């Protein structure tokens, strides 16, 4: 079937122009003025804005953590993403098995039957030995080109510097990209033990025991290791001005470093943890200061950061009370697990559905980034860095017809009811929005039509990515 989206204003990472889009099957086949193709279904987009479907490079679906699991799985999280205009997400595979192949197979078992949008995997490397080193290149046959390493979570996820250096070298040899979680695990462990011994149990101690300078130092260290390995590095969840400084410094030295921030780091601070419901804002790394919010906006505007992901890792605020989800009562243990001890609060916040609508109003609408930067930061740059361009992240003939039609005039009071996350709270409750996704297409198929959900479990497809992605 052919579809023509008529007279919309297209926004890409580099241009804004009016045109028609002809879709045939799963692909965009033509973009130009006045397309006429008899028998096509016509969608009138006069007065509407059109962007490529969002790409969220950082989500955690169905992720076991402490004594629970992140409350969105590969169906509910994908559905929430789609309602917010995101048509591709990338999820992290924990290295919880003897072999990487087994870990990836287990994640496919969870994800494939439930997927409602297209998705890719990053592989966590949290244990390195010769067998793992030998197996990493085989990830390419599994369509995985990206490896996440951690300088924190001692005894659980952290690698030593020499191990990170080895991962970076293997990545370079195989056209892969290493992603870094940058905090100082040793300092965190000491400060946490001291805080607990002093009887400090409330959420604000989460931020107080994870100092910002640890992130700055670990970002410097990661970039320096990447330089020594002659390899590229993507720093996830950049949360403060000082980390951006390190990325700029590394770029000046000619290192291929990339930085991703997430909306909570742009809008919230460590002060939010002091609220009576402060556990809602607990994630790692923590949110920082108003000056860091500002520094991150500046870095998005001047190109020092390349992507905005979400680190979507939702938990219920009160997992003892069920919510209704698709007609069923659902309760999943959440933040209340840490009521008496902040170290037991599951780390993570919801956001995959919030990202585009919130950034449209409070990024573009507020004049902090341009509409084209919005598309680059939320879609096109991730497609390039992660080896999906131009299949994804583009409005071009030959690209997948992943398309969002926005109503730029729609005004609404945002919150849980719109977000569709499977959790009992939203960080942006009662925020006023202007402009909102109206129709969302995945490979030419209408998934979201206003408030109607037309997607399905199993409708999403795994994206088998190729190595040697574009270094932007
Ligand atoms: O608090 C967070 N972000 N949880 C997810 C794990 C991670 O490090 O990204
Ligand atoms: Zn992380
Ligand atoms: Zn994460």
SS3 377: helix
CATH of the domain at 411: 2.30.40.10
**Rounded distance between C-alpha atoms, residue 200 and residue 211, angstroms:** 16
Which CA distances in Å does 229 have to 123, 165, 325? 20, 6, 48
Residues 46 and 72 in one domain: no
**Residue 18 within any structural domain of the chain:** yes
Residues 276 and 407 in one domain: no
Q: Whose CA is nearest to atom 8 of ligand 1?
A: 284
Q: Whose CA is nearest to atom 5 of ligand 1?
A: 348
Q: Which domain holds residue 159?
A: 54-385
182 CA to middle of ligand 2, Å? 8
Residues 165 and 85 in one domain: yes
Q: How much of the chain is helix, strand and coil, in % rounded to 5? A: 35, 25, 40
Complete DSSP assignment for 456-467: -TT-S-B----S
> For ligand 1, is residue 91 a contact (CB within 6 Å)?
no
**Residue 467 within any structural domain of the chain:** no
State the DSSP code for 421: -
Residues 223 and 109 in one domain: yes
**Residue 408 within any structural domain of the chain:** yes
HSE, CB side, 13 Å, CA atoms: give it for residue 216.
11
Residue 295 has what pLDDT? 99
Residue 76 has what pLDDT? 99
**Rounded distance between C-alpha atoms, residue 200 and residue 204, angstroms:** 9
Of 358, 385, 412, the last residue of a domain is 385
Residues 415 and 295 in one domain: no
Residues 60 and 47 in one domain: no
Residue to mutate (ligand 1; options 57, 59, 60; most atoms within 8 A of CB): 60
Residues 45 and 122 in one domain: no
**Residue 470 within any structural domain of the chain:** no
Residues 338 and 217 in one domain: yes
> For ligand 1, is residue 181 a contact (CB within 6 Å)?
yes
Tally the domains of the chain.
2
For 58, the enclosing helix (H) or strand (E) is: strand 54-59
**Residue 430 within any structural domain of the chain:** yes
Residues 138 and 274 in one domain: yes
Of 347, 365, 385, the last residue of a domain is 385
Which CA distances in Å does 331 have to 70, 71, 74? 12, 9, 17
236 CA to middle of ligand 2, Å? 6
**Residue 266 within any structural domain of the chain:** yes
In which band, very low, low, confident or very high, does the pLDDT at 470 lie, cut at 50, 70 and 90?
A: confident
**Residue 205 within any structural domain of the chain:** yes
> For ligand 1, is residue 60 a contact (CB within 6 Å)?
yes
Tokens of 431: 């925020």
In which band, very low, low, confident or very high, does the pLDDT at 472 lie, cut at 50, 70 and 90?
A: confident
Residues 308 and 405 in one domain: no
313 CA to middle of ligand 1, Å? 7
Residues 228 and 315 in one domain: yes
pLDDT in tens, 144-191: 999 999 999 999 999 999 999 999 999 999 999 999 999 999 999 999
Q: Looking at the CA of 58, which ligand is closest?
A: 3
Of 354, 369, 385, the last residue of a domain is 385
**Residue 471 within any structural domain of the chain:** no
In which band, very low, low, confident or very high, does the pLDDT at 62 lie, cut at 50, 70 and 90?
A: very high
Residues 43 and 61 in one domain: no
Q: What is the pTM of this model?
A: 0.98
**Rounded distance between C-alpha atoms, residue 77 and residue 383, angstroms:** 20
- Asked if 90 contacts 57 with a C-beta cutoff of 8 angstroms, the reply is yes
Q: Looking at the CA of 350, which ligand is closest?
A: 1
CATH of the domain at 285: 3.20.20.140
In which band, very low, low, confident or very high, does the pLDDT at 281 lie, cut at 50, 70 and 90?
A: very high
């Amino acid at each position: 079937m052919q579809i023509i989206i008529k007279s919309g204003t297209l926004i890409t990472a580099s241009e804004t122009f009016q045109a028609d889009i002809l879709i045939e099957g799963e692909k965009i086949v033509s973009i130009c003025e006045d397309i006429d193709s008899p028998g096509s279904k016509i969608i009138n987009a006069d007065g509407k804005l059109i962007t490529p479907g969002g790409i969220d490079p950082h989500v955690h679906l169905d992720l076991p953590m402490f004594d629970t699991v992140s409350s969105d799985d590969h169906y509910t999280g994908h559905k929430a993403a789609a309602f917010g205009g995101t048509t591709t997400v990338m999820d992290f595979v924990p290295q919880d098995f003897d072999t990487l192949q087994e870990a990836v197979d287990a994640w496919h078992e969870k994800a494939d039957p439930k997927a409602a949008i297209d998705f890719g995997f990053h592989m966590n490397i949290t244990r390195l030995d010769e067998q793992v080193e030998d197996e990493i290149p085989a990830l390419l046959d599994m369509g995985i080109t990206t490896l996440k390493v951690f300088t924190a979570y001692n005894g659980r996820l952290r690698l030593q510097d020499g191990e990170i250096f080895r991962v970076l070298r293997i990545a370079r040899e195989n056209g892969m990209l290493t992603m870094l979680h940058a905090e100082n695990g040793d300092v965190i462990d000491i400060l946490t033990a001291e805080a607990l011994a002093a009887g400090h149990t409330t959420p604000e101690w989460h931020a107080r025991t994870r100092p910002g300078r640890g992130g700055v130092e670990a970002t410097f260290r990661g970039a320096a290791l990447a330089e020594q390995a002659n390899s590229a590095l993507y720093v996830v969840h950049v949360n403060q001005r000082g980390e951006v400084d390190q990325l700029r410094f590394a770029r000046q030295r000619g290192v291929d470093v990339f930085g991703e921030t997430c909306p909570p780091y742009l809008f919230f601070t460590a002060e939010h943890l002091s609220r009576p419901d402060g556990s809602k804002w607990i994630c790692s790394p923590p949110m920082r200061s108003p000056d860091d919010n500002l520094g991150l906006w500046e870095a998005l505007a001047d190109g020092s950061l390349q992507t905005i992901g979400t680190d979507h890792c939702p938990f219920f605020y009160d997992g003892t009370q069920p919510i209704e989800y698709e007609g069923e009562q659902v309760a999943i243990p959440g933040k209340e697990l840490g009521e008496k001890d902040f170290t037991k609060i599951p780390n993570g916040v919801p956001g995959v559905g919030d990202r585009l609508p919130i950034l449209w109003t409070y990024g573009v609408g507020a004049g902090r980034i341009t509409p084209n930067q919005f598309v680059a930061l939320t879609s096109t740059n991730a497609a390039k860095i992660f080896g999906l361009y131009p299949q994804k992240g583009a409005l071009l003939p030959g690209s997948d017809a992943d398309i969002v039609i926005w109503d730029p005039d729609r005004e609404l009071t945002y919150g849980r009811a719109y977000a569709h996350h499977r959790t009992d709270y939203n960080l942006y409750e009662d925020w006023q929005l202007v402009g909102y996704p109206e129709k969302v297409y995945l490979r030419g198929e209408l998934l979201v039509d206003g408030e109607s959900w037309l997607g399905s479990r199993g409708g999403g497809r795994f994206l088998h990515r190729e190595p040697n992605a574009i270094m932007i």
